[in-house]
């Protein structure tokens, strides 16, 4: 069904907010409602709105602003304090799901290449989902949240490297030098921007502000930095959202309340398109085949259990409660999983059924993360303003 752009935006935004509010009223996380809204208005149920380039563009902008706003609320020193632990969390949190996904599909009778793509789809956490949950509950300063955020950023870099390796193997022309260069460039970009970016921006930001006479000069400079680092991140081989997060992190000490308020307003407008967009891609037709349903449930359970086990083992030294919170916070899959699924399908390595299973895991893990985190954080959620 085709609608005009304003009507499409009204349907997506309005339904996301209405269902979010209904779930909040009964004590459930509103974020799950926004994803559920996408399923209801999407092709699988009401067929009011289908995924298209416009929705994808709004979704991409939504997650960029979400990660930028998260960066504004986080202190670099807090992330550096958990840097080594977060690296271990990200590493084990990728290795265990990859091996599980690879092994399950091989046992199910899939090809070796298809198994590699499924493993690659399960490795990376969706930082957008976890960050959105933690921000809405005012938990970004919580120690477990800082580990989750730092690990999810590292996870994104590692996930894209894993995907590069898998696609090279599938093409039959594995180039170690090219992968090492890509990995080195991506890692260097993240480290240099995170550590030295804050110092540089804190010195230059007031200078630009004093020279620009336009209204909302600080916000304009902040937007230039946001999109510049997003572009640089993309060309460095990592996701643009990592650049957006680092831009917010660089401005955390120098941005005034006006920049934060304007960013919050744009974020509130665009994030529902990101969350509802996840639901729009869900295909209810997956439940027509009993074997596909069984495969989907097995892989979903594996996707949850392997993150909890892998990330939890890495954080046992700081207590079982933190370990559980970190493991659950790393459950949702998102951007990297969809890229892996689309790449595997386009290369004829993945069947349509396995592709649908990956989309199901992305949607289901995003829906399950908010209530699981609410239980794990317990009183900390209720104490948040």
Which domains can be identified in the chain, with CATH numbers? 5-383 (1.20.1530.20)
End-to-end CA distance of the chain: 41
For the cut 80, the answer to whether the pLDDT of residue 2 exceeds it is no
Q: Quick check: 122 and 361 in contact, CB under 8 A?
A: yes
Burial 238-269 (b: 16+ CB within 10 A, else e): bbbbbbbbbbbbbbbebbeeebbebbeebbee
Burial of 310 (0-12, 13-18, 19+ CB in 10 A): buried
Kindly state the tokens that stand for 251: 């401005």
Could you tell me how far CA 257 lies from the centroid of its own chain? 26
More confident residue, 293 or 3: 293
pLDDT attached to residue 205: 66
Burial of 149 (0-12, 13-18, 19+ CB in 10 A): buried
Could you tell me how far CA 226 lies from the centroid of its own chain? 17
Kindly state the tokens that stand for 340: 């892996």
pLDDT attached to residue 212: 59
Kindly state the tokens that stand for 15: 């339904």
Closest CA to 167 of 351, 346, 330: 346
Q: What would the pLDDT profile of 90-145 be if each residue is shown by its tens digit?
A: 899 999 999 999 999 999 988 999 999 999 999 988 877 888 888 888 888 888 88
Interatomic CA distance for residues 265 and 280, integer angstroms: 24
pLDDT attached to residue 310: 92
For the cut 90, the answer to whether the pLDDT of residue 161 exceeds it is no
Average pLDDT over residues 194-201: 73
Q: What would the pLDDT profile of 304-323 be if each residue is shown by its tens digit?
A: 999 999 998 888 888 888 89
Could you tell me how far CA 20 lies from the centroid of its own chain? 19
Could you tell me how far CA 117 lies from the centroid of its own chain? 19
Q: Within the chain, what is the greatest distance between any pair of CA atoms?
A: 65
The winner for highest mean pLDDT among 27-31, 43-47, 152-156, 174-178 is: 43-47
For the cut 50, the answer to whether the pLDDT of residue 385 exceeds it is no
pLDDT attached to residue 141: 83
Rg of the chain over Cα atoms, rounded to whole angstroms, equals: 20
Q: In the structure, what pLDDT confidence band is assigned to residue 339 with cuts at 50, 70 and 90?
A: confident
Q: In the structure, what pLDDT confidence band is assigned to residue 301 with cuts at 50, 70 and 90?
A: very high
pLDDT attached to residue 376: 87
The winner for highest mean pLDDT among 168-182, 192-206, 211-225, 277-291 is: 277-291
For the cut 70, the answer to whether the pLDDT of residue 209 exceeds it is no
pLDDT attached to residue 15: 94
Residues 6 or more apart whose CB falls under 8 angstroms from that of 123 comprise 94, 97, 98, 155, 158, 159, 162, 336
DSSP H helices, the chain, are 5-25, 30-41, 53-72, 76-81, 83-107, 112-121, 127-136, 143-171, 176-211, 217-236, 240-251, 257-280, 290-314, 320-329, 335-346, 352-377, 379-383
More confident residue, 384 or 154: 154
Q: What is the mean pLDDT of the chain?
A: 84
Q: How far is CA 95 from CA 3, 49, 87, 264, in A?
A: 44, 37, 12, 36
The winner for highest mean pLDDT among 74-78, 263-267, 381-385 is: 263-267
For the cut 60, the answer to whether the pLDDT of residue 58 exceeds it is yes
Instruction: Name the packing angle between helices 143-171 and 127-136 (round to 10°).
Output: 170
pLDDT attached to residue 300: 95
User: What sign for the dihedral angle of Cα 120, 38, 327, 292?
Assistant: negative
For the cut 60, the answer to whether the pLDDT of residue 383 exceeds it is no
pLDDT attached to residue 363: 85
From the CB of residue 67, how many other CB atoms can be counted at a distance below 10 Å?
Answer: 31
Kindly state the tokens that stand for 173: 């022309």
For the cut 50, the answer to whether the pLDDT of residue 373 exceeds it is yes
Interatomic CA distance for residues 218 and 188, integer angstroms: 28
pLDDT attached to residue 210: 58
What is the SS3 assignment for 46?
coil
Q: Quick check: 70 and 258 in contact, CB under 8 A?
A: no
Residues 6 or more apart whose CB falls under 8 angstroms from that of 339 comprise 163
pLDDT attached to residue 207: 63
- Of how many residues is the chain composed? 385
Q: What would the pLDDT profile of 239-253 be if each residue is shown by its tens digit?
A: 788 888 888 888 887
What is the SS3 assignment for 212?
coil
Q: What is the pTM of this model?
A: 0.77
Average pLDDT over residues 28-33: 77
Residues 6 or more apart whose CB falls under 8 angstroms from that of 385 comprise 138
């Amino acid at each position: 069904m085709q609608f005009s752009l304003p009507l499409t935006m009204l349907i997506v935004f309005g339904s996301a907010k209405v269902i979010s509010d209904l779930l909040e009223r009964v004590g459930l996380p509103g974020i799950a409602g926004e994803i559920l809204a996408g399923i209801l208005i999407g092709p699988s149920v009401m067929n009011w709105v289908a995924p298209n380039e416009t929705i994808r563009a709004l979704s991409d902008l939504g997650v960029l602003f979400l990660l930028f706003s998260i960066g504004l609320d986080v202190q670099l020193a807090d992330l550096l304090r958990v840097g080594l632990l977060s690296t271990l969390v990200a590493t084990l949190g990728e290795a265990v799901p990859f091996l599980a996904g690879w092994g399950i599909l091989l046992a199910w009778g899939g090809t070796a290449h298809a198994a590699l793509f499924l493993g690659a789809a399960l490795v990376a956490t969706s930082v957008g989902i976890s960050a959105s949950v933690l921000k809405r509950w005012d938990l970004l300063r919580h120690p477990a949240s800082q580990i989750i955020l730092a690990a999810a950023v590292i996870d994104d870099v590692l996930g894209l490297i894993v995907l590069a390796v898998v696609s090279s193997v599938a093409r039959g022309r594995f180039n170690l030098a090219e992968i090492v260069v890509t990995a080195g460039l991506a890692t260097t970009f993240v480290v240099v921007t995170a550590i030295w970016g804050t110092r540089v921006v804190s010195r230059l930001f007031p200078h630009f502000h004093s020279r620009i006479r336009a209204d909302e000069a600080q916000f304009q400079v902040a937007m230039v930095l946001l999109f510049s680092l997003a572009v640089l991140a993309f060309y460095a081989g990592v996701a643009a959202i990592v650049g957006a997060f680092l831009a917010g992190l660089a401005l955390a000490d120098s941005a005034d309340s006006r920049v934060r308020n304007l960013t919050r307003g744009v974020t509130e407008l665009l994030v529902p398109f990101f969350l509802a967009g996840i639901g729009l891609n869900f295909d209810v037709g997956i439940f027509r085949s009993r074997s596909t349903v069984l495969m989907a449930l097995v892989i979903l359970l594996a996707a949850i259990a392997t993150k909890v086990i892998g990330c939890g083992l890495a954080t046992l030294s700081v207590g079982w409660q933190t370990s559980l919170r970190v493991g659950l916070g790393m459950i949702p899959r998102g951007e990297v999983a969809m890229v892996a699924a689309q790449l595997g399908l386009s290369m004829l390595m993945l069947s349509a059924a396995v592709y649908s299973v990956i989309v199901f895991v992305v949607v289901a893990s995003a829906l399950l993360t908010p209530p699981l985190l609410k239980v794990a954080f317990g009183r900390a959620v209720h104490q948040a303003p």
